[in-house]
Amino acid sequence: MQDLNQKLQKLILKACAYPLGSPERQAAFAEIVRLVMRSGKLWRESTAYYPDALQEMWEYCFQHIDDPEKGYDPSVCTVTTWLDDLLKRILRRYRDRKSRQQKRHLFPYQSDEGQFIDPVENLVAPQDSHTALKIWAHLMAWVQQDPEQVLRNRVCLRYPQISAQTLLLRRLPPDEWSWDNIAAEFQADKKYIAQWYSRYCNSLLREWGRTQGYLDSERD
C-alpha cells in the first residue's frame, strides 16, 4: 500500500513538471491510471453511468491535480483515497440527476425512428451555401484551435493518447478517416473508440452548436 502510494506520488510530481496537454504529462498520467485501476482501490458499481463518472473523475484529476485548492494534498490522504472520494462525489451527483444525464451522455443521439443522427446535421438550415460554408469554417476553426482546451482535455480513458480533438480532426470532412485507419494509427479497438466518439465528441459538437446559436434547441 505504502509502496503504491509512493509510486503514485512520484508520478504526480513527474506529470506536474510538464505543461497541460504535453506528451510527457499524458504518459505519466497513463501510468497513474494503470496503477490505480489495477490496485482495485476505487469504488465499483454496476450502474449505467459508472463509466461516465469514472471518466469524469480522471479528467478532473488530469486538470486539477496540481491545483493548490482543488488538487491532491499528500498530507491529507493517499492518492487512491483522494480519487475514491472524488469518484463517490461524482457518482452521487449522477444519481441525483440520473434521467437527465442518461439522455445527454449515456446514449447516442437518435431520431424517433431509432436512426443515428450526426449533431452537425441538426444545425439550423442556412439560407444559402455561403452561410453553410461560413458555419462549417467556424466549426473547423474551433476544432483546430480549441481555444479553451475543451477538446484536447477530453481524453479517452483507455487510450490517453486519444482526445476529442484528435478524433474530430480525423472524422470530420473533408478528411473523414475510416475507423479502421484511426484504430490502426493509435493501435486502438475500433468499436471502443467509435462508441467513445458517439458518447463524448457528439455531445461536445451539440454543446458548441447551442452556444453559437446554430443548433435547433427544440430537442433540449
Contacts of 82 (CB under 8 A, 6+ apart): 72, 73, 76
The answer to whether residue 220 sits within a structural domain is no
Q: Mean of the pLDDT values across residues 111-137?
A: 52
A 10 A CB-CB count for 1 gives 9
Q: Give the residue among 133, 127, 194 at the shortest CA–CA distance from 159.
A: 194
Is pLDDT at 67 greater than 60 in this prediction?
yes
Contact 26, 155 (CB under 8 A): yes
Domain match, 98 and 159 both: no
Q: How confident is the model at residue 216 (pLDDT cuts 50, 70, 90)?
A: low
Whether residue 104 has pLDDT greater than 80: no
Residue 205 belongs to a domain = yes
Domain hosting residue 194, numbered range: 119-212
Q: Is residue 96 part of a domain?
A: yes
Q: Is the pLDDT at 122 greater than 90, yes or no?
A: no
Q: Are residues 11 and 82 in the same domain?
A: yes
Q: Is there a single domain that holds both residue 86 and residue 147?
A: no
Give the three-class secondary structure for 19.
Answer: coil
Taking only the tens place, the pLDDT of each residue in 49-63 is: 888 888 888 888 888
Total of domains in the chain:
2
List the grid coordinates of 9.
506520488
Q: Are 25 and 19 in contact (CB under 8 A)?
A: yes
Q: Which long-range contacts (CB under 8 A, 24 or more apart) does 64-71 make?
A: 65/12, 65/15, 65/16, 66/12, 66/15, 66/16
Name which residue leads in pLDDT, 100 or 10: 10
Same domain, 132 and 205: yes
Q: Are residues 150 and 89 in the same domain?
A: no
Render pLDDT for 143-155 as a digit per residue (tens, 0 to 9).
999 999 999 999 9
Which one of 61, 78, 104 terminates a domain?
Answer: 104
Do 33 and 69 have their domain in common? yes
Question: What mean pLDDT is reported for the chain?
Answer: 79
Per-residue pLDDT tens over the stretch 35-45: 888 888 999 88
**Which parts of the chain are beta strand (E)?**
none
- The contacts of residue 192 (CB under 8 Å, 6+ apart) are 158
**Residue 109 within a domain:** no
12 or 119, which is more confident?
12
Asked if residue 113 is part of any domain, the answer here is no
Residue 191 banded pLDDT, cuts 50, 70, 90: very high
Domain shared by 84 and 158, yes or no: no
Average pLDDT, integer, range 169-194: 88
**77-101: average pLDDT:** 84
Do 99 and 123 belong together in one domain?
A: no
- Asked if residue 11 belongs to a domain, the reply is yes
Q: How far apart (Å, rounded) are the C-alpha atoms in residues 157 and 75? A: 27
In a domain, 148, yes or no: yes
Q: Are 30 and 81 in a shared domain?
A: yes
Give the least confident one: 66-75, 118-127, 187-196.
118-127
